[in-house]
Structure 1
Amino acid sequence: MNQMQTLLIIGFVWPEPNSSAAGGRMMQLISLFQKQGFQVVFASPAQDSDFMVDLSEFGVQKESIELNSSSFDNFIKELNPTLVLFDRFMIEEQFGWRVAETCPDALRILDTEDLHCLRFARQKAFKEKREFQISDLLAEEVAKREIASILRCDLSLMISEYEMELLTTTFKIDNALLYYLPLLLESKAIHDLEKLLSFEERKDFVFIGNFYHEPNWNAVQYLKETIWPLIKKQLPEAVLNVYGAYHSQKVLQLHNTKEGFLVHGRAENAQEVVKKARVVLAPLRFGAGIKGKLLEAMQCGTPSVTTSIGAESMQGNLPWNGVVEDNPELFADKAIQLYQDKDIWLQAQNNGIEIIKQRYLRKLFEGDFATQIQFLVSNIKQHRLNNFIGQLLQHHTLKSTKYMSKWIEEKNKKSVS
């Protein structure tokens, strides 16, 4: 392999683009780097899954790796990548020091997906029945690990402008270490409006989301207990179809035909489901990042009703693809209005198309992203000198994590023998 063109991605899991926005995001990143001329190797310590994508079909080499094993050092030394991308901070914690020690010249990039510390701090505040405060973030244990990971890397990819702002203001992280790259869509993703089902041809409400993700499970409970009864009371014929990968028995138990609350599990084709629905409901009460399900709704010409957490950092100064409302009674009223009023519905649909055109098309980002990567590859020494705190953390982490990992490796050897 040509050293100049090798990208190693170390994945937390194997990509499942049909299960979550994170899986789709990873495939977008692979495509962006391939267009820049990188040959991509995807390695992960995760078990294979039934729904993982066949990476070889996308020209990506797949490699299984082990945690706490020097076999990884041999693997990466031979590969000698120009660039290493860590999929979430937990993976950087595990493998970052090995990359820094074995391939010190490789550019290290972190794909955050969303700020985990923000999601956890909001969830904790929600469970304690109080408003989230910025000070919650500073007290969040995960923040110490996640921010250290961001500082150790040469660049962190962010999908939310709000999270970029938090990192630069609350955590005082240099802008040069951050890069805004939201979920991206091809130009053809804006389906010809004439090909989409009309207002009259659509029916029902829909919720869609991966149930591994706590904010999604919470939103479905909230729909079942609070919001859906308010909608059903005024629209007795209405049906809410709930779809999501990795549903458990507790999710299936919410299914109730009489209430029009139908739990279907995994959608074979999420877009087909959303295109047939008239309105997407997403009453998310905590979380972070930007929401793939709401971008998908825009793509399918389906207006959505969500909360301020759901819509965070998604629309810029543009009007929303439907309604943003945190009060449950108003949420239900606006959902009913959107469901019944064709003029309001059509305006919402157009708003969604406009948001995609101005904020999520791949062509808006790929040129600048390629320039940024090439600049860092060429100027890595100076870039790192400007990030002294990152160097300091790398130095100390390498020492502590290295010896902890070596101890675990020795322990594992003894238990095997």
Structure 2
Amino acid sequence: MPLLVIIGYVWPEPKSSAAGYRMLSLIELYLAQGWQVIFASAAEKTDHRADLQRLGVQEQQIVLNDDSFDLWLSTLSVQAVMFDRFMIEEQFGWRVELNCPDALRILDMEDMHSLRHARHQAFKADRPLNTADLNSDIAVREIAAIYRCDITLVISQHEMQLLQQHFSVPSALLCYCPFFIDSDNEQTLLGYDQRQHFVAIGNFRHAPNWQAVLWLKQTIWPLIRQQLPQSHLYIYGAYPPPKATALHNAKEGFYVKGWAEDVADVMQQAKVCLAPLAFGAGLKGKLLDAMQFGTPSVTTDIGAEGMTFADEAWGGIIANDSAAIATAAVTLYQDQQLWLTAQQQGTRILQQKFSAAKLQPVIWQQIQQTSANLAQHRANNFTGIMLQHHAYRSTKFMGQWIEAKNRLPPQ
């Protein structure tokens, strides 16, 4: 049985974040193909992590900057290693290359960290995104990790284009791999008259989500309440800090609820999902949930990015300033026909762009072809060879220096 080792940035929490949901879907993809999977991470285990052992996945606690990882990995017969985000490739890539050089090296980007960072910098400076933002130190690190790996899983078509057109990454190194939805599993969706109020959801540790909550509280929600004074907004998300719970105000109809035990129940009860995202990257799990559970949404261009085609309608309304977002929210809330059309369009987007039955065979074929022709694939990637030669030596020596330093007795 072939073996995949996943080195995780964190232990996957599918109920806390879209990243956790995505990681679980990748694990299930490999399990369905008859692979054995080991998930290893140096992160602390959390109460909300997925029950990987129930899936038959072995868990392995590892340590940063320690040769115990090398000793463990060298005992395994590994056919593929997946790095969860570029920072993990930087930490462990040279150790993987040293101990299992013939294993396929896969980078799962999640979202494109350098793009999210670039947009955040432009947002804080209140100016348009520019080339200097895109060409940041984080971008240099992230693109280098892509070249050092054999194949990179890219979640968004927009990011596929950016990687190829702006950063000139060869298409052979990239694999379009969005969320997977079982579109054949039809469910009965609650109708317009069975729902009320608004919902917003997102992990509070994610900067774009926190900014969206502030935007709602300070500007957008007061505009909505002027027109719908009896309406309520329920905000859910994992790990709410005190500064978030302090925003709760029942008199304003602004309810900060925190952790959502059942996203399906929360989303299905709401009439409209609000996701005013001023910056960010990747695909938005909250909007995927909204479409799955038949809840039309109001979001920004960045929120809807990569989730629909340019000439296609959104499963709701797209708006980009406070007044337009508030107007869109009220209109969608009050117009039953518009609401029903948006709900139906959300279902179509899921079927056309995120169908597991359509996506998984194509993705698996590319992964298998890359693995089958690995020697030639690597020979064609001279930039990757060059970066591996230099970067792995620097990160290797840095890791070994930290390891030696950690072994010194305390002063």
Instruction: Give the TM-score normalised by the residue count of structure 2.
Output: 0.98
Q: Work out the percentage of aligned pairs sharing the same amino acid.
A: 52
Answering whether residue 376 of structure 2 is matched by residue 382 of structure 1, we say yes
SS of 2:338's equivalent in the other structure is helix
Does structure 1 retain, via aligned residues, the 8 Å contact 2:204–2:237? yes
- Matching residue of 2:77: 80
Structure 2: 5+ residue stretches without partners: none
TM superposition shift of 1:368: 1.4
TM superposition shift of 1:399: 1.1
Answering whether residue 205 of structure 2 is matched by residue 212 of structure 1, we say yes
- Matching residue of 1:164: 160
Answering whether residue 362 of structure 2 is matched by residue 365 of structure 1, we say no
* Matching residue's letter, 1:141: D
Does structure 2 retain, via aligned residues, the 8 Å contact 1:321–1:351? yes
User: C-alpha distance in 2, partners of 1:189/1:293?
Assistant: 19
User: C-alpha distance in 2, partners of 1:88/1:189?
Assistant: 30
TM superposition shift of 1:189: 4.7
SS of 1:200's equivalent in the other structure is helix
SS of 1:79's equivalent in the other structure is coil
Answering whether residue 276 of structure 2 is matched by residue 283 of structure 1, we say yes
User: C-alpha distance in 2, partners of 1:42/1:382?
Assistant: 29
1:180-238 deviation digits (Å, cap 9, x = unpaired) = 010111134542xxx22210110000000000100000000000001000000000001
Q: 1:354 aligns with which of 348, 367, 381?
A: 348
User: C-alpha distance in 2, partners of 1:144/1:217?
Assistant: 27
Does structure 2 retain, via aligned residues, the 8 Å contact 1:318–1:351? no
1:316-327 alignment to 2 at 5 Å? 316=309, 317-327=311-321
- Matching residue of 1:29: 26
* Matching residue's letter, 2:355: L
Answering whether residue 409 of structure 2 is matched by residue 412 of structure 1, we say no
TM superposition shift of 1:135: 3.5
- Matching residue of 1:10: 7
- Matching residue of 1:67: 64
Aligned pair in 2 of structure 1 residues 318, 390: CA closer, same or farther (>3 Å)?
Answer: same
Does structure 2 retain, via aligned residues, the 8 Å contact 1:202–1:278? yes
SS of 2:257's equivalent in the other structure is strand
* Matching residue's letter, 1:17: P
User: C-alpha distance in 2, partners of 1:188/1:13?
Assistant: 31
* Matching residue's letter, 2:193: E
- Matching residue of 2:286: 293
* Matching residue's letter, 2:142: E
Does structure 1 retain, via aligned residues, the 8 Å contact 2:176–2:363? no
User: C-alpha distance in 2, partners of 1:12/1:415?
Assistant: 29
1:9-408 alignment to 2 at 5 Å? 9-138=6-135, 140-191=136-187, 195-316=188-309, 317-408=311-402
Does structure 1 retain, via aligned residues, the 8 Å contact 2:39–2:58? yes
User: C-alpha distance in 1, partners of 2:294/2:175?
Assistant: 29
User: C-alpha distance in 1, partners of 2:282/2:410?
Assistant: 41
TM superposition shift of 1:318: 2.4
Does structure 1 retain, via aligned residues, the 8 Å contact 2:183–2:350? no
SS of 2:75's equivalent in the other structure is helix
User: C-alpha distance in 2, partners of 1:182/1:302?
Assistant: 21
User: C-alpha distance in 2, partners of 1:307/1:121?
Assistant: 17
* Matching residue's letter, 1:406: Q
SS of 1:8's equivalent in the other structure is strand
TM superposition shift of 1:416: 6.2
User: C-alpha distance in 2, partners of 1:77/1:300?
Assistant: 45
User: C-alpha distance in 1, partners of 2:35/2:92?
Assistant: 21
SS of 1:392's equivalent in the other structure is helix
User: C-alpha distance in 2, partners of 1:218/1:48?
Assistant: 27
Across the two proteins, how many residue pairs are aligned to each other? 410
Instruction: Give the TM-score normalised by the residue count of structure 1.
Output: 0.97
Q: Which moved more, 1:182-191 or 1:86-95?
A: 182-191
